[in-house]
């Protein structure tokens, strides 16, 4: 008789093998994997996230405790702490980012019409915002506060071909080179091409900047930005900076929902592999929740999965409301019987 799949299997099955292979081809290994395939590496990191393991040693110890179930979990190679540590250090973290982007697009399509879910639409938008912020850097208030070092850093970004938007103080000295027409009904007050004129700023940032000023009717404040982006409409620049808060919410969401109390490696590559695989694990559970029409919240599902990862039963059956009600009814019956026997 064929053994039933584990709880872990339908979660990882949301990522199709063809999609995984396509991402692997985009980011090939720079060094030999030493017997640990890309898929085994990905499964191990997702297993550690879903079961709240805090080290590579914990992951390997838990998996080796159930050697007969490793095949049903999806593992095909031999796992060891050394091979996992080597893979975390040398395997390109962009592979896991690409997998997260694939899962994010699928989850966004599934949750697009569902406005009642408080978590996933915000998560998907925050991920999109983080991609935007990686191309167009959005700096907070006070970054450019008559600081020569800040101006030098901005000019280095400009020389490297990067784009930025930074909040500007009102006392910055400048000279207007050109003015662009603005529609004041949208809140815009000015869209100017300027040059900085103070002694230190001329040397630190000698090229032109764009100065945008807008009136926020809702909060009754005037906002002022400097940017080296000369092509986008001023309203788009303002909206991008307003959406910068979504990136802050994304990092707050990471602290609340992802189990990242400790890192599996000290290198930047290892940390990024762990973070992106944790996001993948969360998105896979979110996809299962939607496709299986589960009523429990994502947090409840994650808690139940964490202690039943090796169970060989359908995930929908494990998470069914009726199953939980049956367990409560059985517990109440046992409690009543104990009272009767005591009397």
Burial letters for 269-282: b for 16+ Cβ neighbours within 10 Å, e otherwise?
Answer: bbbbbbbbbbbbbb
Would the pLDDT of 33 be above 70? Answer: no
* Distance separating alpha carbons of residues 285 and 140, to the nearest angstrom: 34
Residue range 288-294: mean pLDDT, rounded: 88
Among the listed residues 286, 281, 284, 310, the one whose alpha carbon sits nearest the alpha carbon of residue 296 = 286
Residue 48 makes CB contacts below 8 A (sequence gap 6+) with 56, 58, 59, 264
**Which of 29-43, 195-209, 244-258, 268-282 has maximum average pLDDT?**
268-282
pLDDT tier at 312, thresholds 50, 70, 90 = confident
Residue range 209-213: mean pLDDT, rounded: 92
Backbone angles phi and psi of 203, in degrees to 5 = -80, -35
pLDDT tens digits along 157-173 = 888 888 888 887 667 88
Residue range 283-298: mean pLDDT, rounded: 88
Among the listed residues 258, 287, 259, 288, the one whose alpha carbon sits nearest the alpha carbon of residue 5 = 288
Let me know the angle formed at the C-alpha of 179 by 178 and 185, rounded to the nearest 5 degrees.
Answer: 170
Determine how many CB atoms are found less than 10 A away from the CB of residue 161: 6
Would the pLDDT of 288 be above 70? Answer: yes
Residue 332 makes CB contacts below 8 A (sequence gap 6+) with none
pLDDT tier at 18, thresholds 50, 70, 90 = very high
Would the pLDDT of 117 be above 50? Answer: no
Would the pLDDT of 123 be above 70? Answer: no
pLDDT at 333: 46
pLDDT tier at 28, thresholds 50, 70, 90 = confident
SS3 content of the chain, % helix, strand, coil (to 5): 55, 15, 30
pTM above 0.75, yes or no: no
* Contact present, 27 and 92 (Cβ < 8 Å): yes
Pairing mode of beta strands 209-216, 188-196? antiparallel
Radius of gyration, alpha carbons of the chain: 26
Determine how many CB atoms are found less than 10 A away from the CB of residue 220: 7
What region does 35 belong to: left with phi over 0, alpha with psi -120 to 50, or beta?
left
Angle between helical axes of 120-135 and 244-257 (0-180°, round to 10): 130
Residue range 24-30: mean pLDDT, rounded: 86
Residue 285 makes CB contacts below 8 A (sequence gap 6+) with 11, 50, 298, 301, 302, 305
Angle between helical axes of 38-50 and 298-307 (0-180°, round to 10): 110
pLDDT tens digits along 240-279 = 777 777 767 777 777 777 777 788 888 999 999 999 999 9
pLDDT tens digits along 174-191 = 899 999 998 888 888 999
Pairing mode of beta strands 209-216, 136-144? unpaired
pLDDT at 39: 92
* Contact present, 251 and 71 (Cβ < 8 Å): no
Residue range 202-213: mean pLDDT, rounded: 90
pLDDT at 204: 86
Give Cα separations from 236 to 59, 212, 231 (angstroms). Answer: 46, 11, 10
């Amino acid at each position: 008789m064929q053994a039933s799949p584990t709880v872990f299997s339908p979660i990882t099955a949301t990522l199709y093998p063809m999609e995984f292979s396509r991402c692997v081809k985009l980011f090939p290994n720079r060094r030999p994997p030493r017997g640990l395939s890309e898929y085994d590496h990905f499964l191990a990191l997702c297993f550690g996230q879903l079961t709240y393991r805090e080290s590579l040693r914990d992951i390997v110890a838990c998996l080796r405790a159930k050697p007969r179930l490793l095949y049903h979990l999806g593992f095909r190679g031999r796992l060891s702490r050394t091979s996992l540590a080597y893979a975390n250090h040398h395997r390109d973290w962009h592979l896991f980012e690409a997998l997260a982007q694939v899962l994010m697009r699928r989850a966004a399509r599934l949750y697009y019409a569902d406005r009642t879910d408080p978590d996933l639409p915000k998560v998907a938008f925050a991920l999109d915002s983080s991609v935007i912020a990686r191309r167009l850097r959005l700096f907070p208030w006070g970054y450019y506060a008559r600081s020569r070092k800040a101006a030098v850093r901005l000019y280095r970004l400009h020389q490297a071909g990067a784009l930025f938007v930074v909040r500007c103080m009102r006392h910055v000295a400048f000279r207007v080179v050109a003015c662009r027409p603005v529609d004041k009904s949208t809140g815009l007050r000015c869209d100017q091409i300027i040059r900085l004129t103070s002694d230190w700023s001329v040397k630190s940032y000698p090229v032109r900047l764009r100065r945008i000023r807008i009136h926020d009717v809702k909060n009754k404040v005037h906002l002022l930005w400097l940017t080296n982006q000369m092509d986008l409409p001023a309203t788009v620049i303002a909206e991008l900076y307003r959406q910068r808060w979504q990136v802050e919410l994304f990092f707050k969401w990471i602290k609340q929902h992802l189990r990242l109390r400790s890192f599996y490696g000290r290198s930047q590559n290892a940390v990024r592999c762990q973070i992106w695989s944790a996001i993948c694990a969360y998105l896979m559970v979110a996809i299962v929740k939607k496709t299986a029409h589960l009523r429990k919240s994502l947090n409840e599902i994650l808690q139940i999965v964490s202690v039943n990862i090796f169970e060989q039963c359908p995930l929908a059956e494990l998470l069914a409301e009726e199953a939980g009600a049956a367990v409560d009814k059985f517990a109440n019956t046992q409690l009543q019987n104990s009272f009767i026997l005591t009397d």
